[in-house]
Amino acid sequence: MKKALYVLVILALFTALPAVEKTGPKVFISVDMEGIWGVVHGDQTSPASPEYGPARKWMVEDVNAVIAGLFEAGASEIVVNDSHGSMRNIIADGLNPKASLVSGTPKPLLMMQGIDGTFDACILVGYHAKAGTASAILDHTISGGAMRSIKINGQELPELGINGAIAGYFKVPVIMLSGDSETCAQAKSILGNEIVAVAVKEGIGRYAAKLLPQDEARRRLKDGAQEALLKRAKIVPFKLNPPYQFDLDFNNSSQAELPLLIPQVKRTGARSVAFSSSDFLDGVKLMRALISLASAQ
């Protein structure tokens, strides 16, 4: 009798405990502008141009389509980082109100500000191909005015690769990317074939593209986000191995001069410099500082 009573008391205690709330995946989104649906020229990405306003609207619409797909797939929290230029492009009150927005610059991790190890997945929206890519809209690597190429550990990387490695530093996989067709191909080549790559336009040249019908583009973005989140377990983080060797090739020789003010930076050619770092994030921050110095020339 005592044993039976003891069991009943234990069961009652467990029943009285509050239920553990199950939450869905937490997702980080970095949003650039050149790969947004409708954008084919630099005028559309510059606040100085009257074409900028409509492009800002397309930008938030692309992001909202991705957010809708993520919430339908069970996401519980979404953080969006504005990653283009001044990083004040996304129309804040146009963004899905359930998502948080990181806006403005400077910020330590720039295009990836806000990411950390608490996220389950990362998505890159509106990205572009690396400098020197044919038939890609507004191809460049971080700074069109300064950079010809960036290599890390001997591998030339576009922004999607550098930022994918930042996500990988925190063990977060990049599960989806959107942009033009060439950018999508680079994403699969660098980040892995399992990534969901959504091409919203096909580049004809640097300043011309064949756009998907608007409704079709937004549907693909929504469906792609839903698919990516549901298959995230199959996608591994993109990680580089230390020590990290950074090789920067500038557009001209004068741009390699001011970076030499940093003691650990060595000149490796008329227009190129190199340095190494034991920590990837420290290396990325120094790289961005060197690009800023080069851009001042």
Which residue, chain included where needed, has tokens 């530093």?
A: 169
CA distances 64 to 119, 137, 198, 223, Å, are 19, 22, 15, 12
Dihedral of alpha carbons 155, 160, 166, 172, sign: negative
Task: Give the H or E element holding residue 286.
Answer: helix 280-295
Number of Cβ within 10 Å of residue 21's Cβ equals 6
Residues with catalytic roles: 140
- Alpha carbons 194 and 237: distance in angstroms, whole number: 11
CB atoms within 10 A of CB 231: 15
Alpha carbons 62 and 79: distance in angstroms, whole number: 15
Tell me which residue has tokens 């996220």.
119
Residue 9 CA from chain centroid, whole number? 53
At 20, phi and psi to the nearest 5?
-75, 120
Provide the 8-state DSSP code for 85. Answer: T
Of residues 22, 62, 12, 297, the one with CA closest to residue 177: 62
Of 80, 121, 84, the C-alpha closest to 97 is 80
Question: Tokens 């009573």 correspond to what residue?
Answer: 5
In contact, 198 and 65? CB cutoff 8 Å: no
What distance in Å separates the CA atoms of residue 232 and residue 225, rounded to the nearest whole number? 10
